[in-house]
Amino acid sequence: TDKIDARLIAMFGKILEPEVRPIASKEIRLIRDLLARKRQLNETRTQELNRQHKAPKVLAASHRRLLKLLDKEIAWVNEHLAKKVAAETEWQRTYEILSSVPGIGDGVAFTLLGELPELGTLSNRQVAALCGLAPFNRDSGQMRGKRRIKGGRAPIRTVLYMAMLCAIQHNPVMRDFYQKLVAHGKHKKVAITACMRKMITILNTMVRNNQAWQTN
C-alpha cells in the first residue's frame, strides 16, 4: 500500500497546495526535550507527594529525600531552559514579551517558545487552532451541533489552563473578561477556555508587533 499512499499524498499536495512548514530546528527540538523532561519530573513529583500522604511514618524520610532530588532535577531543567533562551537574541526578546503579561510565568513562556515557534507569524484563528482552542462546529443540514474544541498541541493547552487560573485573579484584562462571561451564564470551564483562546491571540499579536504587555 506504500505506492498507493504515496500517490494519494502527492495528489493531496498538488490539489490543495498546503502551506509548507519548516522542520523544527535542532535548538527547538532540544527545548522540547527539556520541556518533556520537566513534565515527566513534575508528574513523578506529584505521584510521590500522593504516596507520601498515604505512607507510614517509617517511610517519611525516604519520600523527603526523593522529593528533594526531584526538586533539584526540575531546577536543573529550568536553568538549562533559561540558558538556551538567553543564548538566542530572538528567543530572549520573545520571552521578555511573553513574560511581561500578568499571569504568564517562565513555564508558559518556555513552553510557547518550544511548542509554538510559529507564534507571531500566523493569524489569530490559525494560532488558536494549533493550540486546540478554536471551536469547530458539528452542524449537519439544518441541525446545529455544539461547538467544541479538539486536537491541537496538548502541552500548550495544559500550561495555558494553569496560567488562566492565575490570570483571572491577577490580570485585570483577563479577570474582567472572565467575570463578564460568567455573568452572562457561561459555565466556568467554558469561560476559562475562552480566556485561554483570548490570551493566546493576544500573545500572538504582541509577538508579531514586538510589543510588551499594556493593560490599556
Instruction: Classify burial at 116, counting beta carbons within 10 Å of its beta carbon; exposed 0-12, middle 13-18, buried 19 or more.
Output: buried
Could you say which DSSP state residue 143 is in?
B
Helix, strand, coil: what percent of the chain each, to 5? 70, 0, 25
| d(C-alpha 28, C-alpha 113), whole Å | 8
Statement: the pTM of the whole predicted model exceeds 0.85: no
Q: For 97-153, what is each residue's pLDDT tens digit?
A: 999 999 999 999 999 999 999 999 999 999 999 999 986 555 555 555 455 555 678
Mean predicted confidence (pLDDT) in 10-15: 70
The residue ranges of every structural domain in the chain are 22-87, 89-216
Give the Cα-Cα-Cα angle 153, 86, 93 (nearest 5 degrees): 70
Q: How confident is the model at residue 9 (pLDDT cuts 50, 70, 90)?
A: confident
Mean predicted confidence (pLDDT) in 57-67: 95
